[in-house]
Amino acid sequence: MAKKKSSPSKTDKIKQLDKYSVDYDGKPMTTRQGLKVNDTNNSLKAGERGATLLEDFLLREKIHSFDHERIPERIVHARGSAAHGYFELTESIEQFSKAGIFTDTSRKTPVFVRFSTVAGSKGSTDLARDVRGFAVKFYTQEGTWDLVGNNMPIFFIQDAMKFPDLIHSVKPEPNNEIPQAASAHDTFYDFVSRTTETLHNHIWVMSDRGIPRSLRMMEGFGIHTFRLINKKGEAHFVKFHWKPKLGVHSVTWDEAVKISGADSDFHRRDLWDAIEAGNFPEWELGVQIVPEADEHKYDFDLLDPTKLIPEEMVPVKIIGKMVLNRNPENFFAETEQVAFMPGSIVPGIDFTNDPLLQGRLFSYRDTQLSRLGSPNFHQIPINRPVGEVHNNQRDGHMQMDVPKGQTAYFPNSLSGGCPYLSTVAEGGFESYQERIDAKKIRTRSDSFSDHFSQPALFYRSLAKWEKEHVISAYSFELGKCTHKYIKERMLWIIAQIDTDLAKKVADNLGMKVPKSIEKPINQAIGADAKEKDHQPGKKKVYLEESSVLSQANTKFDTIETRQVAFLVGDGFNMKSFDAMKKALEKEKAIVKLVAPHGGTITCDEDMEHEVDASIMTTESVLFDAVYVPGGQKSIDALLKKPKYIKFINEAFSHCKAIAVDGEGEKLIDESALKEYKDDKALFINGKPKEFISAIAQHRNWDRMEVAEKIPV
């Protein structure tokens, strides 16, 4: 008979992590065996100038540990940053799901969230044009649920079988390991142009979504259609959405390139600093729910991960919020060792037959063996569920637990049948009993063959300035390819999305959109007729536009955490400075003093102010807006440093809000901005309120055409 004991403990994750954390403050240095150390500077030698002795266990321990400090970086998503926080349900969806996390509004579920780029190595720049990973580990009372998503709602490929090909094509080329963290090269476009299912995710990457302003200003998506299961065992399809409180905002490509040089940790630093300052990043969790009966109602297949469900067709219902409020204590122990697995689910959530998701269920557990080296990776503190773990799995490298008792099998009598099984009513997991009546077959469903409709919907939905950015991005990326036939194939394919887009990219490349447009796709892209994958169907228009796809329709109601550079020299006008600073800080913006020198700076009221950055060490691209207070002496000092002119020229060319007061106008007169004093986001002796609302608009894109003429 099974002996039933109390249910798993409901430990808070942070308390659990604290149990494992080691505080070195005020403690003596010891070896790994606990022996106190009295010299860690010199090895043990035969005489002062003699050879080092094999006996030196202190040297050997120290060097041995150093030699093995590295573990393999993630094969994809190697570059990442993470934070702790919590998820709170604001509206129960018990009619759809029995998961505690979706029914209990009184719970605060601990989460650990890791954001990442995909292609680059661990040390690559944050500002690569790329998809961003958005992986959330929910430490729920019923077990850990990992929602391992991206900042784009669709993926490049439809079947897990093609994942190694996709990644091999985008990673640095195998002969010379070039380029790092960049898709702009031949192998990627060779693959993309012959794999038209990639086009939808690809055009999202070419849009501003590929270069976010901040990890805190990105959406997140579970991508796949999952299932929710309610108490009665009924299923609904679901797609998960994260909507950022600060809206969705991006930088321009010119900024991205420059930020990569000025601060390649830009996103990592931004996330860290925001949390340290108590400006906790926040997202709403939304769900799109589709009844099982509607599975075949749409012009696309719900199981196809290259398709989104337009919000006009199925609205997103907001059910909760996530707040990130604590930075990790140790990057390696937490951010590097965290192991996400789409296979980690809890009762009330289940999978669908999306062939990409099915492959992921294998891959993530598998990869942890290479990275973390042992099947016991779940025992690493960041990976431990909050409840206790009891099973008959045993041993393996680095077993940290000491399982008690005589038995390690089931069924047993010797241990009273423990650990015992739970019925579904008691919380035991049961897979959804989906009816399957099919032939075993290696193929792709015809319902997956529409590769052009949604990339076209996306492009149609963009604002003019967003379209311009897409044109530039394609032109840049294809311009970096060296093989003409690869560019031709891409132009032909882009023309399937939009002929004007293809024409403009072709003009930039000095090429023509190939006439083979009417030819069957296999001929046009040079693929073997036997390759079944390359048979995209006809483009459909089932929706003219979807407004949420455009960043022009995001939130523009806050300047919270926006970085505003105050350009100041000794003698700046304290009155206008103070009024602007107070107004901005009231709205939770961050003011940084950029002075001609480091240390402190004195205003015209003889007060000393701490300098945040000297002009030598910072760049305009690291700020969201610029303000120049008056003060003759201050402006004279700024004008002696040509970099200040570059600074405001550049801010203007990136369409940012700029405000000057009093003598600050002289800086405008000396810069390229003097021609554009009527610009709607350039304020000369304006009101702080106007400046604030221009910063909240993120950018003045109306300025784009003139901005191109600014020398930077």
Taking each helix axis as running N to C, give the angle between helix 355-372 and helix 163-170, from 0 to 180 degrees, rounded to the nearest 10.
60
**From the CB of 362, what's the least distance to ligand HDE, in Å?**
8
The residue length of the chain stands at: 712
Query: The tokens of 312 are what?
Result: 């006009």
Cβ atoms 326, 85 nearer than 8 A: yes
The residue from 98, 114, 171, 698 that contacts ligand HDE (CB under 6 A) is 114
User: Does the protein bind ligand HDE through residue 77 (CB under 6 A)?
Assistant: yes
Cβ atoms 145, 344 nearer than 8 A: yes
Site for ligand HDE in 345-364 (CB under 6 A): 356, 359-360, 363-364
**From the CB of 162, what's the least distance to ligand HDE, in Å?**
8
Site for ligand HDE in 289-308 (CB under 6 A): 305
Choices 101-109, 148-156, 315-323, 551-559; region in contact with ligand HDE by CB under 6 A: 148-156
Please spell the DSSP secondary structure of 105-150, one letter per residue. TT-EEEEEEEEEESSS-TTS-TT-SS-EEEEEEEEETTEEEEEEEE
Cis peptide bond upstream of 411, omega within 30: yes
User: Does the protein bind ligand HDE through residue 227 (CB under 6 A)?
Assistant: no
Choices 71-79, 176-184, 399-407, 505-513; region in contact with ligand HDE by CB under 6 A: 71-79
**From the CB of 352, what's the least distance to ligand HDE, in Å?**
13
Cβ atoms 459, 544 nearer than 8 A: no
The residue from 101, 111, 148, 495 that contacts ligand HDE (CB under 6 A) is 148
Radius of gyration of the chain (CA): 28
How far out from the chain centre does Cα 340 lie? Answer: 14
In 141-292 the beta strands, taken as DSSP E runs, fall at 143-150, 220-221, 226-229, 235-244, 282-291
CA–CA distance, 499 with 294 (Å, rounded to integer): 34
In 30-107 the beta strands, taken as DSSP E runs, fall at 80-89
What is the number of H-type helices and E-type strands within the chain?
20, 18
User: Does the protein bind ligand HDE through residue 516 (CB under 6 A)?
Assistant: no
Cβ proximity to ligand HDE: between 122 and 321 the closer is 122
Query: The tokens of 267 are what?
Result: 């996103």
The residue from 83, 93, 135, 659 that contacts ligand HDE (CB under 6 A) is 135
Choices 100-108, 146-154, 201-209, 462-470; region in contact with ligand HDE by CB under 6 A: 146-154
How far out from the chain centre does Cα 603 lie? Answer: 41
In 342-393 the beta strands, taken as DSSP E runs, fall at 349-350
Cβ proximity to ligand HDE: between 13 and 258 the closer is 13
**From the CB of 111, what's the least distance to ligand HDE, in Å?**
13
CA–CA distance, 390 with 392 (Å, rounded to integer): 7
User: Does the protein bind ligand HDE through residue 76 (CB under 6 A)?
Assistant: yes
Token pair 């108490």 is found at: 231
**From the CB of 236, what's the least distance to ligand HDE, in Å?**
20
**Using CB under 6 A as the criterion, what x/- string covers residues 413-452 for binding ligand HDE?**
----------------------------------------
Cβ proximity to ligand HDE: between 116 and 169 the closer is 116
Site for ligand HDE in 652-681 (CB under 6 A): none
**Using CB under 6 A as the criterion, what x/- string covers residues 577-606 for binding ligand HDE?**
------------------------------
Q: Which residues of 584-602 are buried (b: 16+ CB within 10 A; e: fewer)?
A: beebebbbebbbbeeeebb
CA–CA distance, 535 with 538 (Å, rounded to integer): 10
Cβ proximity to ligand HDE: between 75 and 616 the closer is 75
CA–CA distance, 603 with 609 (Å, rounded to integer): 8
User: Does the protein bind ligand HDE through residue 286 (CB under 6 A)?
Assistant: no
Cβ proximity to ligand HDE: between 180 and 367 the closer is 367
Cβ proximity to ligand HDE: between 78 and 568 the closer is 78
Please report, in angstroms and rounded to a whole number, the separation of the first and last CA atoms in the chain: 78
User: Does the protein bind ligand HDE through residue 149 (CB under 6 A)?
Assistant: yes
Q: Look at residues 589, 663, 580, 655 and name the one whose alpha carbon lies nearest to residue 621.
A: 655
**From the CB of 130, what's the least distance to ligand HDE, in Å?**
12
Residue closest to ligand HDE, measured at CB? 133
Query: The tokens of 399 are what?
Result: 């077993």
Q: Is 398 left (phi over 0), alpha (psi -120 to 50) or beta?
A: left
User: Does the protein bind ligand HDE through residue 147 (CB under 6 A)?
Assistant: no
User: Does the protein bind ligand HDE through residue 163 (CB under 6 A)?
Assistant: yes
Residue type at 211 in one-letter notation:
I
Please spell the DSSP secondary structure of 570-595, one letter per residue. TTB-HHHHHHHHHHHHHTT-EEEEEE
**From the CB of 588, what's the least distance to ligand HDE, in Å?**
29
User: Does the protein bind ligand HDE through residue 112 (CB under 6 A)?
Assistant: no
Task: Report the catalytic residues.
Answer: 77, 150
**From the CB of 652, what's the least distance to ligand HDE, in Å?**
36
User: Does the protein bind ligand HDE through residue 367 (CB under 6 A)?
Assistant: yes
**From the CB of 636, what's the least distance to ligand HDE, in Å?**
50
Bridge partner list, 290: 237
**From the CB of 180, what's the least distance to ligand HDE, in Å?**
18
User: Does the protein bind ligand HDE through residue 160 (CB under 6 A)?
Assistant: yes
Cβ proximity to ligand HDE: between 114 and 185 the closer is 114
CA–CA distance, 185 with 712 (Å, rounded to integer): 27
Residue type at 647 in one-letter notation:
F
**From the CB of 442, what's the least distance to ligand HDE, in Å?**
16
Query: Sheet containing 682-684: which strands, arranged edge to edge?
Result: 613-614, 590-595, 563-567, 625-628, 657-660, 682-684
Task: State which H helix or E strand residue 227 sits in.
Answer: strand 226-229
Cβ proximity to ligand HDE: between 219 and 570 the closer is 219
User: Does the protein bind ligand HDE through residue 268 (CB under 6 A)?
Assistant: no
The count of residues interacting with ligand HDE (CB under 6 A) is 26
User: Does the protein bind ligand HDE through residue 220 (CB under 6 A)?
Assistant: no
Cβ proximity to ligand HDE: between 117 and 453 the closer is 117
**From the CB of 117, what's the least distance to ligand HDE, in Å?**
10
Q: Look at residues 503, 533, 534, 502 and name the one whose alpha carbon lies nearest to residue 520.
A: 534
Cβ proximity to ligand HDE: between 13 and 98 the closer is 13
The residue from 13, 74, 378, 534 that contacts ligand HDE (CB under 6 A) is 74
Choices 84-92, 155-163, 593-601, 695-703; region in contact with ligand HDE by CB under 6 A: 155-163
Bridge partner list, 561: none
Applying CB under 6 A, which residues contact ligand HDE?
Answer: 74-77, 80, 114, 116, 133, 135, 148-150, 155, 160, 163, 223, 305, 338-340, 356, 359-360, 363-364, 367
